[in-house]
């Protein structure tokens, strides 16, 4: 359910930037979402269709780009992608790891019509 407030925030940011650019319409919003972010694309799209009604973003298309999770071993420094819950280093077997990518969530770009 947190996707509702997330979607409202996306709309608020898009409308603010569109207003600053004197836009007549928002065409596309490009979102970047990490694999580990707790954002469900379909839920954001569902709420978008509701919250964007009667705004200049009503017909905007949401474009989702997913970033895979990448981890780094704190023991040997090996970097690797997260594969189906495998939270150990593929090089040395250590479970001492840190996330270096995959938690992102941001608006990358907004296409407008002036």
Write the CATH number for 40.
Answer: 3.30.2320.50
Burial label for 31, CB within 10 Å (0-12, 13-18, 19+), is buried
Q: Is residue 27 part of a domain?
A: yes
Q: Is residue 85 part of a domain?
A: no
Q: Is residue 94 part of a domain?
A: no
Q: Is residue 91 part of a domain?
A: no
Q: Is residue 29 part of a domain?
A: yes
Q: How far apart are the C-alpha atoms of 35 and 42, rounded to whole Å? A: 15
Boundaries of domain holding 57 = 2-68+102-113
Q: Is 91 helix (H, G, I), strand (E, B) or coil?
A: coil
Q: Is residue 60 part of a domain?
A: yes
Q: Is residue 81 part of a domain?
A: no
Q: How far apart are the C-alpha atoms of 64 and 93, rounded to whole Å? A: 33
Q: Is residue 46 part of a domain?
A: yes
CA nearest 41: which of 63, 21, 19, 56?
Answer: 63
Q: For each successive 10 residues of the chain (114 residues), what is the average pLDDT?
A: 92 97 97 95 97 98 96 95 82 94 97 95
Q: What is the pLDDT of residue 103?
A: 96
The reported pTM is 0.87
Q: What is the domain count for the chain?
A: 1
């Amino acid at each position: 359910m947190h996707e509702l407030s997330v979607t409202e925030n996306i709309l608020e940011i898009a409308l603010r930037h569109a207003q600053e650019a004197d836009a007549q319409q928002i065409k596309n919003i490009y979102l970047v979402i990490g694999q580990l972010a707790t954002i469900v694309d379909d839920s954001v799209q569902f709420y978008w269709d509701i919250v964007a009604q009667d705004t200049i973003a009503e017909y905007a298309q949401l474009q989702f780009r997913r970033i895979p999770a990448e981890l780094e071993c704190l023991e040997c420094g090996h970097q690797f992608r997260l594969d189906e819950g495998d939270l150990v280093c593929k090089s040395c077997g250590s479970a001492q790891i840190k996330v270096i990518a995959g938690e992102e969530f941001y608006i990358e770009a907004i296409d407008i019509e002036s």
